[in-house]
Amino acid sequence: MSPEDYVEREADLFCPVPNYNSLLADAEREETSLGDVFNRMAPLHDGYVLHSPSSDFAQMLAYLESVMPCGSLIVDAGCGTGLHLGYLAQKIRSHFIGYDSSENMIRYANERKSRLHLDNVEFHVNAHEDFPNATISEGSADCIYSLYSIPDFQKTVDIFSRLLRRRGKLIIDLYKNDVFEKEKILFDRGFEKIGDRRFPTRPPLAAFEKY
């Protein structure tokens, strides 16, 4: 199954959401916390992403598949509805853990897990600051990827560094703002940049290795 096949198959299950951005703006204005915003938007998330007119999503899946190691544990930090993980867990021999602070996002992720019969996947309602814990212990992860904005970048990178094994990979979106400051934070914590990938309409992803 190619990334394009996966996107096409999943897109058949969800209606397009052409006014997603205005609905998101309403949620951000009316809800009191980021978790409440994501809970409200969870039913619309996949329809918006899968019916986007660009091919970025399939290209992003292909890139993630190409750089992720086969190993004991891969972590999707801020997994949302498990849309990325639903493809990767079928293609890479590893155990996957996805976590998100939104209960509704995780509910939809578990529905995807059941529908796709993903026996190498588990989902948890957690925030970055909840780790390490019994679910993801210190030094246990071969790869962590986080594809959305991280509110407290320095604190979260410290957490990711604790969770990763030596030579573990971190794949992250750095490019919204303060790129050089973020790269310095990573370099200061023993990460070396090993590549990046640019896409037509979304910010690039950067891959780092922990030394």
% of the chain beyond a pLDDT of 70: 99
Q: For residue range 99-153, what is the model confidence (pLDDT) as tens digits?
A: 999 999 999 999 999 999 999 999 999 988 899 998 999 999 999 999 877 878 8
pLDDT digits (tens, 9 = 90+) for 164-203: 999 999 999 877 678 888 899 999 999 999 999 988 877 7
pTM summary value: 0.91
Determine contact, residues 28/40, Cβ cutoff 8 Å.
Answer: no
Residue 98 pLDDT: 96
Alpha carbons within 13 angstroms on the beta-carbon side of residue 75 total 31
CA distances from 16 to 19, 41, 46 (A): 9, 14, 9
Question: Which pLDDT score, from 0 to 100, does residue 53 have?
Answer: 72
